[in-house]
Structures are given as C-alpha cells and as structure tokens.
Copies of this chain bind each other. A is one copy, B any other.
Amino acid sequence: MRQAGRSLPEYFPVRGDGSILDAIKEPERAAEITLQPTRRYDLDAAILFSDIVTPLWATGIGIDIKPGVGPVTENPIRDESDLDRFRPVDPESDLDFQTEAIKLITKELDIPLIGFCGAPFTLATYLIEGKPSKNHTNTKRLMFSNPELWHTLCEKISDVVIASLKAQIDAGVEAVQLFDSWAGILHPVHYQEFVFPHSKRILETVQTTGIPLFHFGTGTSMLLDQFAAAGADVVGVDWKTSLRHARTILGNDYTLQGNLDPSICTAPWPVVEKEVRRILDENAGNPRFIFNLGHGVLPETNPDILARVADFVHEYGQTLLDNS
C-alpha cells in the first residue's frame, strides 16, 4: 500500500536520487511528496510519505535503505549482545522531522492524513537478515531457537513503534496503519506465539488515543482473524484474498480495506475497470469497505489510470484512500 508517489513524474524532482530517508527527513520534501497524489486523485484520505523503518533508523540502530535494494542492516542482530545497541526513540529529538512534516501537511490538506509504521515482526526480519531475504531463514532460526531473545527484541522494537505512532498522532494524523509486510510467511500457530502478542500490545496501547487503527500485510489470508483480534479497527485484504473469504472470517460489520491487484493497474483502462467493478460488486455495497489497492502502487503505473480508478469508485459510491 501507499507508494503512490513513485509512479508520478512530479515525484522524482522532489524525491532526489539518494536514500529515500534523505527525502523523508526533510519536512518540506516529505510534505510535498505526501500532497502530490492528493492533487491528482479524488481521494478520501492521504498517507504520510515515510517508510516502515523510519523510527528504527532514527534511533541509530544501523538500519538504512539502500537505493535499488531495500532495508539493510550493517551489523545484523544475532545474539543477546546486539540488544545493547538498542536505545529508546526520543520523539522530540529523533522524530522532529516527522512531526514537522505532519504539521506542514495537515495545514494544507482538507482530507484526513494517515500515519504508519512497520510492525515488530517485519522490522525484526530486516534487523536480523541484514538485507531483503527470500526465506527469512535467519529470522526463523533465531525466533524458534532463542524465543527469549526474540521476544526481548520484539519488545524493544515495539517500544520504538509505539513512540513513533503516538508522536504521529500528537502531530495530527487522524488514523494509523501498522504494516506487517512479512507476517504472511508464518504458519498461523507461529504467528500466534511469536508475533501476535507484540502487535497486540502496540495496537492496544495506541487504541487509547481513540483514532482508527489499520493493520495490513500481504499473504495474510490465514492471519486475518488474528490481525483483527490484535486490536485493529480495519484489516487490509491483499489482492490474493477474496473479500468473501475475509467476510467469512471477520463478518459483515468489520471494516476491510483492499483489494485491487496493483499489477492490474498497469493494464489498459477497460481491464482495470472490469476488475474494479468486480471487487465493488463482490463487496455488494457493504459500507464497511474502503476501496484501495491490495499492496503498493507499482512504479510503472500510469497515473491517469489511478485517477480513473478513484473517480470510478466514487461514482459507484465507495470510499477510497490515497494508498491507491
């Protein structure tokens, strides 16, 4: 989800060539990039330009985003001694750029702004693997072989996530999303044991602010019940999961978000229209559905197609978010 910017021609001059974190840490650039899609598309909310690793990076743990690669950690976490490198995040000094960006954005925006952060499992995979991984073998080996270290690590990450989300809310976002991009690589019983308690603590802690909490990951068709049970008000449904399945698991009164395949948005409009209509027809007018892509916008997407998606969904009478 999110990442609408990278398919817009006006994005690149603002974004620049360096690490995405260079753009994120400059409030004016981050604000401008956040606003760009809202000028093109008729959206019901915008999402902050940031990254799931931003608060961890801000603590100086050594995570970075390498252009063309993704999140990398120079000295991956392997044993207890690596935990000494953790320090709590201080929102005032570490995340001031984020607070500033949110204030700049909300001043201009006439739709709600959504904040977000990565969830502990996904962030832990980047800290443990050191680089994007296919099988996440190091993560799983550590998790299963040393559950105590695993849980301590996730608690430390969770503290950073909670601080970041609270700071975003204090600065003015009106909803937050917790992204557990990689949770879908786990069997449901392992998710329950190793991940659920941490995501639950985060969502329950942030719940006290009273703003809507979204929770999303891809490949999570077997985890939707636990995503909701962890305390999410809205669960994202990726493009591989039917709305019917999600409704069977979560019922008609639960709010779902999704579930257009981003790849389809690279096809000609008649193809896209057919699929958007199919999803809306499957939803059958349930107001507890926020139309969105089932994952991030692909860089090769034609912005005109996304504009037509937004208009079509509104003409059909459904809500949709900037994440398209």
Residues of A within 8 A of B (CB): 135-137, 140-141, 144-145, 184-190, 219, 221-222, 239-242, 245, 259, 261-264, 266-268, 271, 275, 278, 298, 300
| 26 residue pairs bridging A and B, Cβ less than 8 Å apart | A135-B262, A135-B263, A135-B298, A136-B263, A140-B261, A141-B263, A144-B264, A144-B267, A144-B271, A144-B275, A145-B268, A184-B219, A185-B240, A187-B239, A187-B240, A187-B242, A187-B259, A187-B261, A188-B242, A189-B242, A189-B278, A219-B219, A219-B240, A221-B221, A221-B222, A222-B241
A194 to chain B, nearest CB (A): 12
A245 near B222 with CB under 8 A, answer yes
List chain B residues, Cβ under 8 A from A262: 135
User: What residues of B have a CB within 8 angstroms of the CB of A264 in the complex?
Assistant: 140, 144
Q: Which chain B residues lie closer than 8 Å to A144 at the CB level?
A: 264, 267, 271, 275
Flag if A300 contacts B137 (CB, 8 Å).
yes
**Which residues of chain B have C-beta atoms less than 8 A from A136's C-beta?**
263
Residues of the B chain whose Cβ atoms lie less than 8 Å from the Cβ of A240: 184-187, 219, 222
3 nearest A-B residue pairs (beta carbon): A140-B263, A137-B263, A144-B271
Given contacts A137-B300, A222-B245, contact A145 B267 (CB under 8 A): yes
Q: Which residues of B contact A221 (CB under 8 A)?
A: 221-222
Distance in angstroms from A32 CB to nearest chain B CB is: 27
Taken together as a complex, chains A and B put the C-alpha atoms of A268 and B136 apart, in Å, by 16
Q: For residue A186, which residues in chain B have a CB less than 8 angstroms away from its CB?
A: 240
* Chain B neighbourhood of A271, CB < 8 A: 144-145
The interface centre, meaning the residue of A140, A144, A268 with most chain B CB atoms within 10 A of its CB, is A144
In the complex, which residues of chain B have a beta carbon less than 8 angstroms from the beta carbon of A267?
A: 140-141, 144-145
CB nearest to A222 among chain B residues: B221
